[in-house]
């Protein structure tokens, strides 16, 4: 027998993983004006894009005289309909920026130049517009001084625009791309660039995003990385689309923020100023220096994103390289901002051209500061004594929860809930919810006063205050989950079932522990489940119609298992049920299958793989499903339609915690509910059970031992501890339980996964507790769960026969 260990299981799983995906190559790379990188470049980044497949050959460039370069560039631009007067100043600027590297400028038919010209045009247009708007505003305000300033500003703007033709340091805007399309901000109709026209109604899917800044290697610094800003280049905004030009005016920066403090970065002025310059001693500069990636003594890299105006509040992002591995590099502020703006545009549909992530973050910092200032406490009030702020909604929720308790006579619980809102349980007992709520409101207004900041606080001992939608209440020690649970006191299923299932506790003050109710099992993570119409189309009876139980001839869904499991009254066929019961309770009738390599043993991760202990072969039900030709009322569809029985969760009186009981009489063979929970692999179960107490997971091993069921990730179980349905409240009873679990195939006949339906083994009286035999061996160490001390009270309880059972099991092994 081969030896397995847990690490081997893990190795196998890792092998099945796809190889780590390389960074996706950017399609349409030939559209980028991307300067080459030195091979010595130490820090490649996401900005590195595939090389241009069709560059202008270097020998062409070397042999050209300077004038020839210029002439060629002008010719290329004129072909795009750009006038010479517009070309020259930008070209001059570009030559400085690109360190006279003509090969880079000439790439992609002088794309960099064309782009820069269009950007310059954009900038000019925007500034003109801004000047006009400013002027109009100033005039509207009617202040002579303001008007003067407005005129001056407008005049300056015009002058700036004129100067732009000669100005060597005109901001460059970069191309934006989306889905492989590269779009110049304003050159959307440029035929040679093939850029689609952009407008505000542009489909989100095709909306362009900004390109990251491209690094410029220089002779002095051939290793210049992606994050270096060309010297003297003012930072420039890159808005989302050409329709977002205005955001340029609002101070966004297109220049990437430096990665180290030595680099020459600057950031936007958050409130309306345009590009910052080195000699402007404003908060812009203060913030610029803050936007560096700092490394703390612990080696944590931190990027300061934003701050309040004078720096009291700061927003930082940090990561510890130690946890991320050496492959992590701190993104620049600009990189991050652009990524976020893209998210805001595409995911949150923020289309306002004035929107800027940087400004938004700064606003958060400012708002935080504002709130912090308002919340200033009196000197003698320590934070521990200060009441927590709770919304009115919370108080109403508590009121409703307490009311529900009171309605059930649970004054102790009602008191617990409402003590936080200063409500007496007695008042709840005698009033309706609406009265409670109005009392609550009255209480909030009767005992409040205003603090020195104008905020309403509760008076001494009042516990409740209210102001502008906020009430102040003492700390509530009920957790959010508990509150959610007790808020839904009338229905533990949170309305997810067609019937309501209330809970009661007549024994103590405990409330059910929180869990997520779900009506159907769902895969947790690794479990391999194969449901597909393709798989089941041959297994179903597409020719059947109406109710499959009606025709004399049973359809193939039935014949597959030798007749239908259900009878026309909706109960299990008597014979079928008796066989199932007998099989479960009578060892002589049991067929046990043994795995060659049992998943339970493999998951134990021990040096030696122990022999399989055996798995009970189970009779199973097969239901018609949506791929069958019958209707929803077909009698062969039961478990899939969920529970319909009137049930109640109650607290048991003999130390078994919560239990489930039926409120109505149930006949023998009736379906009660499915066992639903998270579908785990056995390995996941072992891992989980090593760190927490599970509420009796169920192993789906009815078909284990047959050849097909061998793969570890397909050996499954159900765990209802965190997610589950009402079955998670059903207690165990040895042997003579009144429910039996029967495998039910619904979606297909996959032997790895099946539903487990719980059916009554006998007639059950109203208010009788429902139990089923978990099949747990109390002395068995094989199952990866800790058995409990059984208090089922059955005459044939297995827990009391531990010693004799133990001997038997040792013998067999
Ligand atoms: C599926 S849960 C049943 C609901 C559980 N009683 C509760 O309070 O949530 C299974 C757990 O209930 C308890 N339990 C169930 N049947 C029991 C029994 N016969 N004797 C003692 N404890 C039992 C055990 O703690 C077991 O792990």
Q: What confidence tens digit (pLDDT) does each residue in 329-340 have?
A: 677 777 777 777
- Residue 21 Cα to ligand 1 midpoint, Å, equals 46
pLDDT higher than threshold 50 for residue 1: no
Q: Does a structural domain hold residue 382?
A: no
**Closest ligand 1 atom to the C-alpha of 727?**
1
- Residue 773 Cα to ligand 1 midpoint, Å, equals 11
- Residue 109 Cα to ligand 1 midpoint, Å, equals 76
Q: What confidence tens digit (pLDDT) does each residue in 457-493 have?
A: 333 333 333 323 333 334 445 566 655 555 445 799 9
The pick from 504, 678, 696, 728 for probing ligand 1's pocket by mutation, whose C-beta has the most ligand atoms within 8 angstroms, reads: 696
**Closest ligand 1 atom to the C-alpha of 513?**
9
Identify the sign of the CA torsion 747, 750, 755, 760: positive
The pick from 507, 652, 656 for probing ligand 1's pocket by mutation, whose C-beta has the most ligand atoms within 8 angstroms, reads: 656
Residue nearest to atom 11 of ligand 1 (CA): 695
Cα(624)–Cα(519) distance, integer angstroms: 19
Identify the sign of the CA torsion 564, 568, 569, 575: negative
Residues 212, 233 within the same domain: no
Two structure tokens written together for 109: 């038919």
Residues 309, 448 within the same domain: no
Q: Does a structural domain hold residue 368?
A: yes
**Closest ligand 1 atom to the C-alpha of 771?**
16
**Closest ligand 1 atom to the C-alpha of 793?**
19
Structural domains in the chain (count): 4
Model pLDDT, residue 766:
97
Residues 776, 647 within the same domain: yes
- Residue 655 Cα to ligand 1 midpoint, Å, equals 9
When pLDDT is cut at 50, 70 and 90, the band that residue 718 belongs to is very high
Q: What confidence tens digit (pLDDT) does each residue in 768-804 have?
A: 999 999 988 777 655 545 678 899 999 999 887 554 5
Question: What range does the domain containing 460 cover?
Answer: 388-490
Region for residue 109 given its phi and psi (left: phi exceeds 0; alpha: psi -120 to 50; beta: otherwise)? left
Cα(131)–Cα(124) distance, integer angstroms: 10
Average pLDDT of the segment spanning 403-422: 48
Q: What is the pTM of this model?
A: 0.47
- Residue 812 Cα to ligand 1 midpoint, Å, equals 29
Cα(382)–Cα(679) distance, integer angstroms: 48
Query: What residues pair up with 177 in beta bridges, in sequence order?
Result: 182, 209
509/737: higher pLDDT:
737
- Residue 192 Cα to ligand 1 midpoint, Å, equals 74
Q: Does a structural domain hold residue 5?
A: no
Q: Which of 500-509, 554-563, 605-614, 786-795 has the lowest mean pLDDT?
A: 554-563
Residue nearest to atom 15 of ligand 1 (CA): 731
Residues 369, 393 within the same domain: no
When pLDDT is cut at 50, 70 and 90, the band that residue 761 belongs to is very high
Q: Which of 27-31, 453-457, 606-610, 661-665 has the lowest mean pLDDT?
A: 27-31
- Residue 604 Cα to ligand 1 midpoint, Å, equals 24
Residues 443, 485 within the same domain: yes
Strands 448-450 and 456-458: what pairing? antiparallel
Cα(114)–Cα(193) distance, integer angstroms: 9
Share of the chain above pLDDT 70, in %: 48
Residues 33, 118 within the same domain: yes
Cα(690)–Cα(604) distance, integer angstroms: 11
- Residue 730 Cα to ligand 1 midpoint, Å, equals 7
Residue nearest to atom 25 of ligand 1 (CA): 788
- Residue 791 Cα to ligand 1 midpoint, Å, equals 9
Region for residue 546 given its phi and psi (left: phi exceeds 0; alpha: psi -120 to 50; beta: otherwise)? left
Identify the sign of the CA torsion 427, 429, 430, 434: positive
Cα(201)–Cα(794) distance, integer angstroms: 72
Nearest residue to 499 via CA among 642, 359, 394: 642
Q: What confidence tens digit (pLDDT) does each residue in 7-28 have?
A: 222 222 223 323 333 322 222 2
**Closest ligand 1 atom to the C-alpha of 733?**
19
- CATH, residue 559: 2.170.270.10
Q: Does a structural domain hold residue 299?
A: yes
- Residue 335 Cα to ligand 1 midpoint, Å, equals 54
Residues 367, 403 within the same domain: no
Mean pLDDT rounded to a whole number for the chain: 63
Residues 249, 334 within the same domain: yes
Average pLDDT of the segment spanning 359-387: 62
Half-sphere exposure of 781 (CA within 13 A, CB side): 5
- Residue 732 Cα to ligand 1 midpoint, Å, equals 6
Cα(502)–Cα(500) distance, integer angstroms: 6
**Closest ligand 1 atom to the C-alpha of 792?**
19
Share of the chain above pLDDT 90, in %: 20
Q: Does a structural domain hold residue 16?
A: no
**Closest ligand 1 atom to the C-alpha of 789?**
21
Two structure tokens written together for 288: 């610029």
- Residue 258 Cα to ligand 1 midpoint, Å, equals 59
Residue nearest to atom 24 of ligand 1 (CA): 788
- Residue 742 Cα to ligand 1 midpoint, Å, equals 20
**Closest ligand 1 atom to the C-alpha of 656?**
22
Q: Using a CB cutoff of 8 Å and minimum separation of 24, what contacts does 414-419 make?
A: 416/478, 416/509, 417/478, 417/483, 417/486
Give the DSSP letter of residue 806: H
From 325, 345, 374, the end of a domain falls on 374
Residue nearest to atom 26 of ligand 1 (CA): 695
Q: What confidence tens digit (pLDDT) does each residue in 267-312 have?
A: 333 333 333 333 333 322 333 334 444 444 455 556 777 777 777 7
- Residue 695 Cα to ligand 1 midpoint, Å, equals 7
Cα(397)–Cα(403) distance, integer angstroms: 10
Query: What residues pair up with 764 in beta bridges, in sequence order?
Result: 666
- Residue 492 Cα to ligand 1 midpoint, Å, equals 18
Cα(501)–Cα(495) distance, integer angstroms: 9
Residue nearest to atom 4 of ligand 1 (CA): 729
**Closest ligand 1 atom to the C-alpha of 652?**
6
Model pLDDT, residue 785:
56
When pLDDT is cut at 50, 70 and 90, the band that residue 628 belongs to is confident
Residues 318, 439 within the same domain: no
From 374, 408, 423, the end of a domain falls on 374
Model pLDDT, residue 199:
31
Q: Does a structural domain hold residue 678?
A: no
Q: Using a CB cutoff of 8 Å and minimum separation of 24, what contacts does 289-294 make?
A: 289/261, 290/314, 291/257, 291/258, 291/265, 291/267, 291/333, 292/257, 292/258, 292/259, 292/260, 292/261, 292/263, 292/265, 293/258, 293/259, 293/260, 293/330, 293/332, 294/261
CA distances from 192 to 83, 243, 487, 491 (A): 16, 21, 65, 66
- Residue 727 Cα to ligand 1 midpoint, Å, equals 11
Nearest residue to 699 via CA among 760, 741, 745: 741
Model pLDDT, residue 729:
96
Residue nearest to atom 2 of ligand 1 (CA): 695
Cα(176)–Cα(801) distance, integer angstroms: 76
Cα(281)–Cα(555) distance, integer angstroms: 86
Query: What residues pair up with 673 in beta bridges, in sequence order?
Result: 758
Residues 478, 410 within the same domain: yes
The pick from 695, 728, 758 for probing ligand 1's pocket by mutation, whose C-beta has the most ligand atoms within 8 angstroms, reads: 695
Q: How would DSSP label each residue in 586-607?
A: -GGG--EE--SS-HHHHHTT-S
Two structure tokens written together for 491: 């229905």
Nearest residue to 24 via CA among 174, 179, 176, 175: 179
Model pLDDT, residue 452:
38
- Residue 121 Cα to ligand 1 midpoint, Å, equals 75
Q: Which of 135-139, 324-328, 428-432, 737-741 has the lowest mean pLDDT?
A: 428-432
Q: Which of 240-254, 350-364, 486-500 has the lowest mean pLDDT?
A: 240-254
Model pLDDT, residue 432:
29
The pick from 678, 729, 731 for probing ligand 1's pocket by mutation, whose C-beta has the most ligand atoms within 8 angstroms, reads: 731
Cα(467)–Cα(455) distance, integer angstroms: 7
Model pLDDT, residue 96:
80
The pick from 505, 649, 732, 772 for probing ligand 1's pocket by mutation, whose C-beta has the most ligand atoms within 8 angstroms, reads: 732
Two structure tokens written together for 369: 């500061």
Q: What confidence tens digit (pLDDT) does each residue in 684-711 have?
A: 888 888 888 777 789 999 888 876 666 6
Q: Does a structural domain hold residue 501?
A: no
pLDDT higher than threshold 70 for residue 621: yes
Residues with CB under 6 A from ligand 1: 656-659, 695-696, 728-729, 731-732, 788, 790-792
**Closest ligand 1 atom to the C-alpha of 660?**
4
- Residue 766 Cα to ligand 1 midpoint, Å, equals 21
Residue nearest to atom 13 of ligand 1 (CA): 656
Residues 564, 653 within the same domain: yes
Q: Does a structural domain hold residue 553?
A: yes
pLDDT higher than threshold 70 for residue 328: no
Q: Which of 9-13, 146-150, 610-614 has the lowest mean pLDDT?
A: 9-13
Residues 273, 399 within the same domain: no
């Amino acid at each position: 027998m081969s030896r397995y260990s847990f690490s081997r299981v893990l190795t196998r799983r890792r092998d099945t993983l796809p190889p780590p995906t390389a960074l996706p190559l950017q399609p349409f790379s030939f559209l980028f004006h991307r300067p080459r990188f030195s091979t010595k470049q130490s820090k490649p980044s996401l900005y590195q894009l595939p090389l241009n497949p069709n560059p202008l050959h270097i020998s062409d460039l070397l042999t050209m005289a300077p004038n020839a370069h210029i002439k060629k560039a002008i010719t290329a631009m004129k072909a795009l309909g750009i006038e010479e007067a517009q070309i020259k100043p930008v070209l001059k600027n570009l030559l400085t920026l690109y360190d006279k590297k003509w090969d880079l400028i000439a790439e992609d038919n002088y794309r960099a130049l064309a782009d820069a010209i269009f950007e310059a045009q954009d900038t000019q247009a925007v500034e003109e517009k801004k000047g006009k708007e400013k002027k109009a505003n100033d005039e509207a305000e009617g202040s002579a001084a303001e008007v003067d300033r407005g005129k001056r500003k407008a005049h300056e703007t015009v002058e700036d625009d004129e100067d732009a033709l000669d100005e060597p340091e005109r901001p460059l805007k970069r191309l934006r791309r989306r889905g492989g399309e590269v779009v110049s901000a304003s050159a959307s109709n440029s035929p040679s660039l093939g850029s689609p026209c952009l407008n505000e109604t542009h489909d989100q899917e095709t909306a362009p995003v900004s390109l990251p800044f491209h690094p410029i290697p220089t002779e002095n610094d051939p290793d210049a990385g992606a994050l270096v800003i060309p010297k003297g280049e003012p930072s420039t905004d890159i808005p989302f689309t050409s329709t977002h030009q205005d955001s340029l005016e609002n101070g966004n920066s297109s220049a990437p923020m430096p990665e180290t403090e030595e680099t020459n970065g600057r950031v936007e002025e958050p409130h309306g100023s345009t590009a910052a310059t080195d000699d402007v001693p404003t908060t812009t500069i203060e913030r610029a220096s803050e936007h560096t990636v700092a490394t703390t003594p612990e080696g944590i890299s931190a990027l300061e994103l934003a701050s309040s105006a004078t720096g009291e509040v700061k927003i930082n992002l940090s990561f510890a390289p130690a946890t991320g591995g050496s492959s992590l590099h701190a993104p620049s502020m600009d990189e991050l901002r652009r990524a976020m703006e893209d998210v805001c545009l595409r995911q949150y549909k923020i289309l306002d051209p004035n929107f800027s992530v940087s400004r938004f973050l700064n606003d958060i910092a400012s708002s935080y500061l504002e709130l912090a200032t308002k919340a200033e406490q009196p000197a003698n009030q320590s934070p521990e004594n200060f009441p927590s702020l709770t919304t009115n909604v919370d108080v109403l929720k508590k009121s409703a929860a307490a009311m529900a308790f009171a309605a059930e006579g649970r004054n102790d619980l009602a008191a617990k809930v409402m003590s936080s809102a200063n409500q007496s349980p007695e008042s709840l007992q005698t009033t309706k919810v609406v009265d409670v709520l109005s009392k609550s409101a009255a209480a909030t207004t009767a005992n409040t006063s205003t603090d020195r900041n104008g905020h309403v606080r509760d008076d001494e001992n009042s516990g409740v205050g209210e102001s502008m939608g906020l009430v102040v209440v003492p700390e509530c020690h009920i957790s959010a989950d508990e509150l959610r649970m007790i808020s839904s006191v009338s229905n533990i299923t949170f309305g997810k079932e067609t019937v309501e299932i209330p809970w009661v506790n007549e024994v103590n003050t405990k409330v059910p522990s929180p869990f997520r109710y779900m009506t159907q099992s769902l895969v947790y993570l690794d479990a391999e489940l194969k449901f597909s119409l393709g798989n089941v189309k041959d297994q179903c009876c597409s020719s059947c119609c109406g109710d499959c139980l009606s025709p004399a001839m049973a359809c193939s869904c039935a014949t597959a298992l030798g007749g239908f499991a259900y009878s026309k009254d909706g109960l299990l066929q008597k014979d079928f049920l008796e066989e199932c019961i007998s099989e479960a309770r009578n060892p002589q009738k049991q067929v046990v299958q043994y795995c060659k390599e049992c998943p339970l043993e493999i998951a134990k991760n021990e040096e030696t793989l122990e022999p399989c202990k055996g798995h009970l072969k189970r009779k199973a039900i097969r239901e018609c499903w949506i791929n069958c030709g019958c209707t929803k009322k077909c009698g062969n569809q039961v478990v899939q339609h969920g529970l319909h029985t009137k049930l109640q969760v109650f607290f048991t009186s003999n130390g078994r915690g919560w239990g489930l009981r039926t409120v109505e009489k149930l006949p023998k063979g009736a379906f009660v509910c499915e066992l639903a929970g998270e579908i785990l692999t056995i390995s996941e179960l072992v891992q989980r059970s090593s760190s927490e107490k599970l509420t009796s997971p169920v192993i789906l091993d009815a078909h284990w031992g047959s050849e097909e069921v061998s793969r570890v990730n397909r050996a499954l179980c159900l765990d209802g501890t965190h997610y589950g349905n009402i079955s998670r409240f059903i207690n165990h009873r040895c042997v003579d339980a009144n429910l039996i679990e029967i495998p039910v195939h619904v979606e297909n006949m996959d032997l790895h996964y099946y539903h487990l339906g719980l059916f009554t083994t006998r007639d059950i009286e109203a208010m009788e507790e429902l139990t089923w035999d978990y099949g747990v061996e109390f002395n068995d160490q094989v199952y990866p769960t800790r058995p409990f001390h059984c208090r089922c009270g059955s005459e044939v309880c297995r827990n009391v026969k531990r010693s004799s059972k133990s001997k038997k099991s040792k013998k067999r092994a």
